[in-house]
């Protein structure tokens, strides 16, 4: 058994292992694919065909047929010959973007024939753990058959939608995807799931077809897009989760494929919004966003700005002081306090216009 146990992709609850598959508490069963050999590691199938959208149906019609693996291998040979790359060396360089260490646990989504698995196994070593999943049972059967026991370790395989992963939050040190996300029904979900299952500080790398923006409009771009329309897609950089940090976007393979790499963070980027602005307007990022009141007439605005300048205060400090003074006069007992957010400057004495 590996360190990382499967969870229900819908409820995230732990699953029990039975002879035919993985069970949920309520009896729902995720069946194992038929085993290639009696001793092969079981491959659970989390595919929910009833929930499959157009993208999943299109992918299954392409990648889950009797000839799919041969057709795809043929495509890979064409692709790497077209761009003059050695596939194994190219995949090693792609995997290097994950900055893996010995013992790491890594997930590959949309693994296809699993050609990224050997360089990942080399990087994490026998003490690491590699999981690979794909929507297509045919691709997973082929990958599991080829990489069942390689490099002193046993990769684990599963079938399912990469936008609904059967793993707990933060289970992996890194996640990798190449070549399928353009066809996902839920691209943002596919990226968010990679980020979710990677621990904070772990690396996520994903890439797919999409000619670089500066090539659009050239005959080169028209030719490659005419050849495969998916190469006209754009990098989904705006779909990254707000937790993404140290984001990098670049283009590879004749600048016809984008690659996004990022570190999984927690929450929004750290920021101190209470640093006071020096100068005429004053206030802070916090007050300018959360403290906006109604507008006043242009004449009043101009008079307030003049009064603040004459008092040697920023407009923010002048308003804060005078409005609090007015509130105190009106009997508001909290008027002198700084409120529930820290004011980074002492509240100045009220100044009458
Ligand atoms: C072009 S192949 C890429 C395979 C492999 N990553 C590689 O680099 O050669 C795209 C793969 O994505 C898989 N795929 C498509 N939609 C998927 C989804 N929603 N979830 C998981 N895999 C998906 C397909 O079944 C197919 O095996």
DSSP per position, 144-158: HHHSSSBTTB--EEE
Does 9 sit in the ligand 1 pocket, CB within 6 Å? no
Does 180 sit in the ligand 1 pocket, CB within 6 Å? yes
Residue of minimum CA distance from atom 16 in ligand 1: 184
The domain limits of the chain are 48-264, 273-353
pLDDT at 36 (0 to 100): 75
- 110/108 Cα distance (integer angstroms): 7
pLDDT at 147 (0 to 100): 85
pLDDT at 82 (0 to 100): 98
Q: What is the DSSP letter of 104?
A: -
* Biggest CA-to-CA distance, the chain: 89
Burial 263-301 (b: 16+ CB within 10 A, else e): bbbeeeeeeeeeebeeeeebbbebbeeeeeeeeeeeeee
Does 30 sit in the ligand 1 pocket, CB within 6 Å? no
Does 181 sit in the ligand 1 pocket, CB within 6 Å? no
Separation of 111 CA from ligand 1 center, angstroms? 6
Whole-Å CA distances, 87 to 115, 145, 223: 9, 20, 23
Does 161 sit in the ligand 1 pocket, CB within 6 Å? yes
Please answer whether residues 240 and 260 qualify as being in contact, where contact means their C-beta atoms are separated by less than 8 angstroms.
Answer: yes
Separation of 52 CA from ligand 1 center, angstroms? 15
Whole-Å CA distances, 52 to 29, 48, 55, 186, 196: 18, 6, 8, 11, 21
Does 183 sit in the ligand 1 pocket, CB within 6 Å? yes
CATH no. for 48-264: 3.40.50.150
Report residue 353 as tokens: 């216009």
Does 111 sit in the ligand 1 pocket, CB within 6 Å? yes
Those residues of the chain that have pLDDT short of 50 are 339-353
Burial 318-353 (b: 16+ CB within 10 A, else e): bbbbbebbeeeeeeeeebeeeeeeebbbebbebbee
Pocket mutation for ligand 1, best pick of 114, 160, 179, 190 (most atoms within 8 Å of C-beta): 179
171, with CB counted inside 10 A (0-12, 13-18, 19+), is buried
pLDDT at 352 (0 to 100): 43
Q: Can you say how many angstroms the Cα of residue 271 is from the centroid of all Cα atoms in its chain?
A: 21
Whose CA is closest to 161, among 24, 59, 234? 59
Whole-Å CA distances, 73 to 80, 135, 161, 184, 295: 11, 17, 22, 21, 65
pLDDT at 131 (0 to 100): 98
Does 134 sit in the ligand 1 pocket, CB within 6 Å? yes
């Amino acid at each position: 058994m590996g360190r990382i146990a499967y969870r229900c992709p819908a409820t995230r609850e732990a699953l029990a292992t039975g002879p035919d598959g993985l069970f949920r508490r309520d009896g729902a069963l995720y069946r194992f694919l038929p085993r290639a050999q009696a001793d092969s590691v079981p491959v659970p199938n989390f595919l929910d065909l009833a929930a499959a959208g157009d993208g999943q149906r299109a992918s299954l019609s392409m990648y889950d047929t009797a000839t799919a693996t041969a057709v795809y291998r043929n495509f890979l040979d064409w692709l790497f010959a077209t761009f003059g790359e050695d596939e194994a060396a190219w995949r090693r360089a792609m995997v290097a973007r994950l900055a893996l260490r010995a013992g790491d646990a890594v997930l590959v989504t949309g693994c296809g024939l699993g050609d990224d698995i050997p360089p990942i196994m080399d990087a994490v070593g026998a003490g690491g753990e590699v999981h690979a999943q794909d929507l297509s049972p045919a691709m997973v059967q082929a990958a599991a058959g080829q990489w069942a026991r390689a490099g002193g370790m046993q990769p684990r395989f599963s079938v399912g939608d990469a936008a609904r992963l059967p793993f707990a939050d933060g289970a992996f040190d890194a996640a990798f995807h190449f070549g399928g996300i353009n066809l996902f029904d839920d691209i943002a979900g596919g990226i968010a799931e990679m980020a979710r299952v990677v621990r904070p500080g772990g690396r996520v790398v994903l890439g797919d077809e999409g000619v670089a923006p500066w090539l659009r409009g050239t005959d080169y771009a028209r030719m490659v897009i005419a050849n495969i329309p998916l190469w006209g897609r754009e990098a989904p950089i705006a779909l990254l989760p707000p937790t993404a940090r140290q984001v990098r976007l670049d283009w590879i393979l004749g600048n016809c494929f984008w690659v996004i790499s990022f570190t999984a963070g927690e929450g929004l980027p750290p920021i101190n919004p209470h640093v006071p602005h020096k100068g005429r307007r004053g206030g802070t990022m916090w007050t300018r966003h959360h403290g906006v009141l109604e507008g006043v007439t242009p004449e009043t605005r101009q008079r307030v700005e003049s009064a603040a300048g004459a008092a040697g205060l920023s407009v923010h400090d002048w308003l804060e002081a005078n409005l609090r003074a007015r509130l105190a006069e009106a009997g508001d007992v909290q008027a002198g306090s700084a409120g529930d957010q820290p004011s980074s400057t002492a509240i100045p004495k009220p100044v009458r216009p």
